[in-house]
Amino acid sequence: MKKILKFILIGLLVFLVGWTFYFLYTKSKPKEIVYEIVSPQKQSIKKSSIITGKISPRDEILIKPQIAGIVSEVYKEAGQKVTSGEVIAKVKVIPDVGLLNNAESNVRTAGINLTQATQEFERQKKLFEKGIITREEYEKAETTYKTAKENYETSQDALQIIKEGISERTAKYSSTLIRSTISGLILDVPVKVGNSVIQSNTFNDGTTIASVANMNDMIFIGNVDETEVGRIKEGMTMTLTIGALQDVKLDATLEYISPKSVESTGGANQFEIKAAAKMKEDIFIRAGYSANAEIILAAVDSVLSIPENTVEFSNDSSFVQIVKSEKPVQVFEKRYVELGLSDGVNIEIKSGVTADDKLRGTVVAPNKNN
């Protein structure tokens, strides 16, 4: 019995030692890696740049008063259309006391002069009709009378303008009625009835009554990085994607590239660009919409291409792994290639690979047979 137990223990020990060696051997043996097999394909490749920016009217006109005063009426609001010359608001003039006193004094003085000139003219007229004085003396009196009458009317107009900002004779040129200078859409009316406004002059921009823009003439404004600004030029086409209207794409033409860079918050130099957007009649684009512009920097059509992750680089050379055998194990051969345009996913192959070749791709999994 003891001998049988001894043989069992020795056999178990031999088995454990053998299994241990086998386990360590299989663990140390390198596992075969299985790669995805890909084939070259003919397709179009384009290299593009995405530029962020916004859609804005080409010209946004600020309507300002030509007279200081208080807003008494506002006839339009943001979102309404106006035509050139249409009244947007009315300003009530607050007269200056000093100017008002001077104007009233001028009216009284002009009235006195007119009364005197009228009396003198009437006397000279009677004397002329009786043949006592010459025509020259009569015409001189008549001229003095007409001049005094004109001065009186002018002083009355000046007084009325100071009081009300308008006179009867200049009603159609009234500066109290604030009119739009262009036809378009009102974007904003920042004033309300009762607000004080100041006139636009050489030393002051004046208070903005409204901003008006032609919404059929919109442009894209964005910034392009200095690494790509050398690849673009005026006249290139762009495709605009508007953030608020994901399904809407607009064509645009690059019109302007700034000659001077602006440093961004990240420290990179960027150049402002402007592109004219081709508007669609059935879509309303609001001013200030954020948008992305895709501009094609380079493109090739129907060329042989492979996934860029199949290409390996060494110094100035590039090569791929050509499949020589797939079973029972995968065997590959290195081959140098000449590359062309890349879009970041696929890359053009100019030489070194044919359409019938198969290439090593990314790792799929270790071979489960090992």
Structure tokens at 176: 């109290």
- Tokens 């300003």 belong to 91
Residue 2 forms beta bridges with which residues? none
Q: Return d(Cα 183, Cα 76) in angstroms, integer.
A: 13
pTM of this structure: 0.63
pLDDT single digits (tens) 68-117: 888 989 999 999 999 998 999 988 877 666 666 787 788 788 888 888 88
Q: What is the pLDDT of residue 370?
A: 44
Write the CB contacts of 325 (distance below 8 Å, at least 6 apart in sequence).
331
Determine the Cα–Cα distance for residues 294 and 222; give it in Å rounded to an integer. 11
Residue with tokens 């608001």: 89
Predicted local distance difference test score (pLDDT) of residue 369: 46
Quick check: 285 and 312 in contact, CB under 8 A? no
Gap between the Cα atoms of 48 and 297, Å rounded: 5
SS (H, E, C) the chain: CHHHHHHHHHHHHHHHHHHHHHHHHHHHCCCCEEEEEECCEEEEEEEEEEEEEEEEECCEEEECCCCCEEEEEECCCCCCEECCCCEEEEEECCCCHHHHHHHHHHHHHHHHHHHHHHHHHHHHHHHHHCCCCCHHHHHHHHHHHHHHHHHHHHHHHHHHHHHHCCCCCCHHHCCCEEECCCCEEEEECCCCCCCEECCCECCECCCCCEEEECCCCEEEEEEEEHHHHCCCCCCCEEEEEECCEEEEEEEEEEEEEEEEEEECCCCCEEEEEEEEECCCCCCCCCCCCEEEEEEEEEEEEEEEEEEHHHCEEECCEEEEEEEEECCCCCEEEEEECEEEEECCCEEEEEECCCCCCCEEEEEEEECCCC
Domains and CATH numbers, the chain: 33-46+301-366 (2.40.420.20), 49-57+215-299 (2.40.30.170), 60-93+176-213 (2.40.50.100), 97-171 (1.10.287)
> Would you give the distance in Å from CA 5 to the centre of its chain?
93
| Confidence (pLDDT) at 361 | 84
Structure tokens at 263: 């440093």
**Which residue is listed with tokens 């948008």?**
291
Closest by alpha carbon to 306, among 37, 34, 35?
37
Amino acid found at 91: V
Residue ranges, the chain, pLDDT below 50: 368-370
Residue 245's CB is within 10 A of a number of other CB atoms, namely 15
